[in-house]
Structure 1
Amino acid sequence: MESPQSLFAQGDKDLQVMKAGAMLRKVKSRSWKKQRHFRLQEDGQTIWYKSRWAGTGHSTFSVADVDVVREGHQSEILLSIADEFPADLCFTLVFRGRRSNLDLVAESPSEAQVWIRGVRKLIQNTESMNDKERLDQWIWDWFQKADKNKDGRMNFKEVRTLLKMMNVDMNEEYALRLFTMADKSESGCLENEEFVQFYKMLTEREDVWRVFQDYSRDGQILTLAELEDFLKQEQQEGERSLEHAQELIDRYEPSENAKKHGAMSIDGFQMYLVSPESAVLDPQLLALHQDMSQPLSHYFICSSHNTYLMDDQLRGQSSQEAYIQALKRGCRCVEVDCWDGPNGEPVVYHGHTFTSKILFRDVITTLAEYAFKVSEFPVILSLENHCSMEQQRVMAQLLDTILGDTLLTAPLDRLVPQELPSPQDLKGKVLLKAKKIGGLEESETLTDEVTDEVSDEDEADPKSLSAEALHLNDKKSKLSRELSDLVVYCKSVHFHSFEYSRLHSKCYEMSSFSESKARKLAKDTGAEFVRHNSRQLSRVYPSGMRTDSSNYNPQELWNVGCQIVALNFQTAGLEMDLNDGLFSQNGCCGYVLKPDFMRNDDSFDPERPQDRNGYTSLRLSIQVISGQQLPKVNQKEGSIVDPLVRVEIYGVFQDQAKQETSYIDNNGFNPLWNETLNFIVHVPELALVRFVVEDYDKASRNDFMGQFTVPFTCIQPGYRHIHLLSKDGTAIPLSSLFVNIKISELTTEV
């Protein structure tokens, strides 16, 4: 049995050279540069490397985990050794999730090109695999792991080990029965196709078979009419269901004979149910589909805090890579903390801490290159300015020269706005958020202004400052006119009160709030906060006390319409899951249109949602049926998970809820729950639904296994698969939950 990647690798010269191996220099810093032997393994999927002196120790990584290959000095580390190694020897492997880059130096330009081309081909081949090839690769990977003596055959003892590795503690008698059925040659070992047959028997989906039987009259096939009936009754599809049924047969039915008769077999039915088309998140809502012509204040905007940090805010590394990662995740508001640096060059870091420093120039260069690769809609550059007048002028000059036409430096059409322009109007533009001398109404600005509010974040949350910083803040700081003139639609102002803003504030003025201030306003005056945010932008940022760069729950700030709810993107967990969930819709463009009742003058109070016009609550019923190939959390041999599923609702206060299934003993491979969880949702337009799988532990805290978060309004009802994500937000191959979702209006009986 050969893997698809292995077959692909056989016919390619670059990949054959990679299989032979090469000495490449692994670089971690200017002083840490060590030779390692790298080679592509026979599976065409794994790259193995070790040092000459490491004995039996080695490392491996899967090509599937590599996001992109960058050529030349395209990382800070390789730039730092540019004087020692020319660009044509250098390349960087960038991994998915939060894993660090791998910076490498080849011994010759031709060798560097072999590895650059080779890894790129493998990435492209992995991404273009169809579902069957992906499954074949997955089966082959397991076969390789379990075939301990590498004879290309698997005896029953090896199969028992494999089952444990695959997270299933199967009854020995049943496992032996399957093994014997698959061992057609009666050799006592499974070879190639026999192992594939064993795997198919092992993964037969009784849960899917039962659903199939409910709609198939003869128990063998679904006719076109029966499939249409299933789509109408279970998947809640309307008028297009007959046409759609025919499309599904054409797309997923593997049997030509069944296709000819306009029917679907159990294999085709299962392929449809595990396809992206049948996922819990409606694929039509994944695409860019919202109205992008409304004022900026009418959108939630994907926003990052301390964007320059790869780790915590006391000792973490500041890096351009952190900006690249945030922008690639759809972030549209990035933060830059600027301080005076040596040689007249401003630097970016977390002031008064031990975080490393990077040049402001390099941050803006990175922004110029990556700002619009994932989304064409505007990026807001939130400037925390702690610089002297001289270095502020340098900042203004760098912004102007590096960003060029992408930097918005004047109002559109030279008109003073009555409302903010739209994301559509501002496509491809960078907006500077900072203090400004005067307003857009003045025809010209004549002088520098003395202000004690150059950095609005520090000003807003004095608790977060050190004594040294507070002393500095007491001194009046001057704001340079050159920098001020670059601020157009995001002028930072001190927040006085909602009444003051209503009477005096301009639409292009915005305030920053610490999480504690924003939460208090949301709790005490939620309806006023919603109204304020329909016209002006608000930015919320984590408390300075969060020295570990932890996050607050963004949901309660979205509930009052705050657009820029800034999170530490470098910190995985529930809060980033919610952020990723909200912004997974609308083409992952970083802008999500707020519900209409938060954009108009209607009075919406998140504490009293039932008071709004057109209020209807919904019943959400989720039958958690089964799990497939759940990941192991404890890599110890023989350890198997006891999974449970928890469904969590995040939204207005009345909608916050959690329910969980019981746990299944010793089965992460194909656990069966068949338990139904029920919820009532009062404001579905703001609700997020998070599915979490954990390994139950009665003695200590449960271990996280995987999750998926989806906006309530994007849920497809019916029988759906939920494809799980890791803590880092990356896909866990073939790991899913099978559920049946019903959504109905709540009828109140008189």
Structure 2
Amino acid sequence: NRADVKNIMREIHRESGGNSYKEELLNAKQLCQFMNTYQKSSTDEDWTEEKALELIRSTTEDRQASTLSCLQFAMLLDDRANDVYDPVSLQPGRGDSLRMYMSNSLADYWINSSHNTYLTGDQLKGHSASEQYTFVLQRGCRCIELDCWDGSKDVPKGNPGTEPIITHGHTLCTKIFFKDVIRAIKNSAFGPPANNPYPVILSIEMHCSAKFQDRMYEICNEEFGDMMLLLKDEDMQMATLPSPEELKHKILIKGKRAKKLVATAADVQDSDSEDEDEDAVDDELIEKAKKAKAKHEKQIKKSESMQKTKVEDVKSKSVSRWGNLVYLCAVHFKGFNFPGKPYEMSSFAEGKLKKLADSSRDAFIEYNMKQLARVYPFGGRVDSSNLDPSIAWASGCQLVALNFQTGDNAMWLNFGKFRENGNVGYVLKPPFMRGTGPKLLPIRLTVCVLSCQRLPNNEASSDILDPYVQVELSGAPGDTQVKRTVTIQDNGFNPVFGGGRGEAFEFEIQEREVAMLKILVMDEDISTFTVVGQCCIPVTCIRPGYRHVTLYDTHNGTL
């Protein structure tokens, strides 16, 4: 009993001049008219009655069938082939030449990026694992983070005291060998099953003394070899960064290049390390972080004493060879009036991003036409929650470092965004962010929620779902909006909204190129609201018409 589908069929009959609906059937002419009137996008070919008849007969074993029943029509509407995410946008190259699509400067792309990639849990006492690098790389991530520290005897177990390690410093997070991580990256960056050939950026947060940096240099040379892209003297004069197409199967290391003959204590601490600007960050987050750190204060202090690099040890060593492997040079951001070289790269704390986006968005967009900018979460997000990536993307920032282990709003948006272009981790920014064209005109987007089908009840209780649908828009300043339907009581099987006519919401969108639509199906209980499923889609990837929305769970698995 699909009241929503029957209403659509009535509308088709009405528009085709039909005077009877009692048979609840659609013929080829009516189906053809429906496909051309409602379902056709700008890139689709016109439907013919012959093509419509072929579609009708594909739904049944009767090769002489000439009409479509309500059940068959419902099956067509619910099919994955009718998904709201434009299948052309999902293809590598978005339906055109992938080679051409991937031939712009690296600065012209949004790049799928990970924060503290080694962690599988929280930022205070989480487990570290080299397998996490394989996990994110195989899911399209192209920028990963390595926090590098001096190792010590049997830390981790089996360390002779000469092997560098990766961990979240000054915390209780477990430690892993740098060499194990490098091997995991080598084996999974470009290999099966993903077989993604496009370049991977290693964002290095360096805390090692020169001796351990030299060991890192040896490991990378042994494992990566010619896969690493090195910065040559002639590259210093480059006008733009190379393209992903030119850099297939290449590893780019981002870090500090030493300028002095002798290492100092300042050289040990990476100029791009994640110091925090707490301005413009939620007070609740700051307070939550203080409480969490206070709870483990004694253990953390003990850990810090074991991890701290001795300044006198550093000063006695000459500068390591590590800097020779760095292609993207980490530098402090001095302001938009001091643009750097294309190969120079700055990182921005969450709070700093918000201030710059609020006060100087246009200048930020222009800055990001030439250089890469990486944004990372506020250090107080000890639970590994994420910042809203929409603000950074709308400012032209290429790399928004997210905690992939966390199923939250940011990772939903990230998953939806990077499904575009075949999930290779690179999505071309719009022309106005590349300096090659104007913004598209504002649009009005209408979203009408008709029904849900067979919603899963993931809770342990046997309570029947009370679903409602929340529709959100995120993107450029002023485009953020949230709307919702009424709640349907006790019906998770086939809740219908508006008596089958749906609940419609209108969104005025100023910058559709950076706007994302998020659809949340929620279960409303007496005092709680639980996510049943979610789907995020770039507005430019939405197909018009009556469409099926594939829902994903909180960790982006298909329901």
* C-alpha contact (below 8 Å) 1:224/1:242 kept by paired residues: no
* C-alpha contact (below 8 Å) 1:345/1:391 kept by paired residues: yes
Structure 2 counterpart of 1:206, which letter?
A: A
Q: Please list, as runs of the form range in 1=range in 2, the aligned pairs for 1:448-597 lying within 5 A after superposition.
A: 450=264, 452=266, 454-458=269-273, 460-461=275-276, 480-488=319-327, 490-501=328-339, 505-597=340-432
Hey, what's the Cα distance between the residues in 2 that align with 1:623 and 1:479? Answer: 66
Residues 1:660 and 2:478 are matched in the alignment: no
Alignment partner for residue 198 of structure 2, among 377, 387, 394?
377
Question: Could you list the per-position Cα deviations for residues 593-636 of structure 1 after superposition, in whole angstroms to 9, with x for gaps in the alignment?
Answer: 1111011177xxxxxxxxxx555211111111111011214332
SS at match of 1:718: coil
Hey, what's the Cα distance between the residues in 2 that align with 1:565 and 1:457? Answer: 15
Report the equivalent of 2:179.
361
Judging changes above 3 Å, is the alpha-carbon distance between structure 1 residues 245 and 649 closer, same or farther for their aligned structure 2 residues? farther
Report the equivalent of 1:145.
none
* C-alpha contact (below 8 Å) 2:120/2:132 kept by paired residues: yes
Hey, what's the Cα distance between the residues in 2 that align with 1:631 and 1:651? Answer: 30
Report the equivalent of 1:287.
91
SS at match of 1:334: strand
Name structure 1 gaps, 5 residues minimum: 1-203, 439-445, 603-612, 733-750
Report the equivalent of 1:29.
none
* C-alpha contact (below 8 Å) 1:253/1:269 kept by paired residues: no
Structure 2 counterpart of 1:487, which letter?
A: V
Judging changes above 3 Å, is the alpha-carbon distance between structure 1 residues 411 and 593 closer, same or farther for their aligned structure 2 residues? farther
By how many angstroms is 1:224 displaced? 3.0
Alignment partner for residue 401 of structure 1, among 214, 218, 222?
222
SS at match of 2:224: helix
Hey, what's the Cα distance between the residues in 2 that align with 1:269 and 1:631? Answer: 23
Report the equivalent of 1:624.
449
Question: Could you list the per-position Cα deviations for residues 233-256 of structure 1 after superposition, in whole angstroms to 9, with x for gaps in the alignment?
Answer: 111346622259717834872334
Structure 2 counterpart of 1:628, which letter?
A: Q
Alignment partner for residue 242 of structure 1, among 24, 33, 47?
47
* C-alpha contact (below 8 Å) 1:633/1:641 kept by paired residues: no
Residues 1:723 and 2:550 are matched in the alignment: yes
Hey, what's the Cα distance between the residues in 1 that align with 2:432 and 2:257? Answer: 32
Judging changes above 3 Å, is the alpha-carbon distance between structure 1 residues 482 and 690 closer, same or farther for their aligned structure 2 residues? same
By how many angstroms is 1:415 displaced? 7.8
Hey, what's the Cα distance between the residues in 2 that align with 1:244 and 1:307? Answer: 53
By how many angstroms is 1:324 displaced? 1.7
Residues 1:269 and 2:104 are matched in the alignment: no
Hey, what's the Cα distance between the residues in 1 that align with 2:384 and 2:461? Answer: 31
Report the equivalent of 1:636.
461
By how many angstroms is 1:426 displaced? 0.7
* C-alpha contact (below 8 Å) 1:448/1:480 kept by paired residues: yes
Judging changes above 3 Å, is the alpha-carbon distance between structure 1 residues 591 and 425 closer, same or farther for their aligned structure 2 residues? same
Question: Could you list the per-position Cα deviations for residues 3-56 of structure 1 after superposition, in whole angstroms to 9, with x for gaps in the alignment?
Answer: xxxxxxxxxxxxxxxxxxxxxxxxxxxxxxxxxxxxxxxxxxxxxxxxxxxxxx
* C-alpha contact (below 8 Å) 1:252/1:269 kept by paired residues: no
Judging changes above 3 Å, is the alpha-carbon distance between structure 1 residues 578 and 484 closer, same or farther for their aligned structure 2 residues? same
Alignment partner for residue 348 of structure 1, among 154, 157, 166?
166
SS at match of 2:54: helix
Question: Could you list the per-position Cα deviations for residues 189-242 of structure 1 after superposition, in whole angstroms to 9, with x for gaps in the alignment?
Answer: xxxxxxxxxxxxxxx433223323433546454333322210121113466222
Report the equivalent of 2:157.
none
Report the equivalent of 1:229.
33
SS at match of 1:314: coil
Judging changes above 3 Å, is the alpha-carbon distance between structure 1 residues 451 and 510 closer, same or farther for their aligned structure 2 residues? farther
Hey, what's the Cα distance between the residues in 1 that align with 2:548 and 2:459? Answer: 25
Question: Could you list the per-position Cα deviations for residues 523-572 of structure 1 after superposition, in whole angstroms to 9, with x for gaps in the alignment?
Answer: 11111111100100011111211111111111111111111110111111
Residues 1:325 and 2:135 are matched in the alignment: yes
Hey, what's the Cα distance between the residues in 2 that align with 1:345 and 1:448? Answer: 22
Hey, what's the Cα distance between the residues in 2 that align with 1:530 and 1:558? Answer: 9
Structure 1 counterpart of 2:329, which letter?
A: K
SS at match of 1:672: coil
Alignment partner for residue 677 of structure 1, among 499, 505, 518?
505
Name structure 2 gaps, 5 residues minimum: 95-100, 153-159, 279-288, 294-299
Structure 1 counterpart of 2:109, which letter?
A: Y
Hey, what's the Cα distance between the residues in 1 that align with 2:135 and 2:68? Answer: 43
RMSD between aligned residues: 2.8
Hey, what's the Cα distance between the residues in 2 that align with 1:449 and 1:411? Answer: 22
Report the equivalent of 1:159.
none
Q: Please list, as runs of the form range in 1=range in 2, the aligned pairs for 1:291-310 lying within 5 A after superposition.
A: 291-310=101-120
Hey, what's the Cα distance between the residues in 1 that align with 2:379 and 2:206? Answer: 17
How many percent identity over aligned positions? Answer: 38
More strand by share: 1
* C-alpha contact (below 8 Å) 2:105/2:240 kept by paired residues: yes
Hey, what's the Cα distance between the residues in 1 that align with 2:50 and 2:89? Answer: 21
By how many angstroms is 1:277 displaced? 1.9
By how many angstroms is 1:267 displaced? 4.3
Hey, what's the Cα distance between the residues in 2 that align with 1:252 and 1:335? Answer: 53
SS at match of 1:303: strand
Hey, what's the Cα distance between the residues in 1 that align with 2:330 and 2:203? Answer: 9
Q: Please list, as runs of the form range in 1=range in 2, the aligned pairs for 1:97-136 lying within 5 A after superposition.
A: none
Structure 2 counterpart of 1:730, which letter?
A: G
Structure 2 counterpart of 1:636, which letter?
A: S
Judging changes above 3 Å, is the alpha-carbon distance between structure 1 residues 545 and 237 closer, same or farther for their aligned structure 2 residues? closer
Hey, what's the Cα distance between the residues in 1 that align with 2:140 and 2:200? Answer: 10
SS at match of 2:452: strand
Which structure has more relative contact order (CA 8 Å, sep 6+)? It is 2
Alignment partner for residue 254 of structure 1, among 59, 63, 74?
59
Judging changes above 3 Å, is the alpha-carbon distance between structure 1 residues 473 and 669 closer, same or farther for their aligned structure 2 residues? farther
SS at match of 1:721: coil
SS at match of 1:368: helix
Name which one, 1 or 2, has greater alpha-carbon Rg: 1
* C-alpha contact (below 8 Å) 2:467/2:492 kept by paired residues: yes
SS at match of 1:577: helix
By how many angstroms is 1:448 displaced? 5.5
Hey, what's the Cα distance between the residues in 2 that align with 1:252 and 1:660? Answer: 38
* C-alpha contact (below 8 Å) 2:206/2:273 kept by paired residues: no
What TM-score do you get using the length of structure 2 for normalisation? 0.84
Hey, what's the Cα distance between the residues in 2 that align with 1:412 and 1:280? Answer: 49
By how many angstroms is 1:271 displaced? 2.9
Structure 2 counterpart of 1:705, which letter?
A: V
* C-alpha contact (below 8 Å) 1:460/1:513 kept by paired residues: no
Alignment partner for residue 314 of structure 1, among 114, 118, 124?
124
* C-alpha contact (below 8 Å) 2:455/2:493 kept by paired residues: yes
* C-alpha contact (below 8 Å) 2:150/2:309 kept by paired residues: no
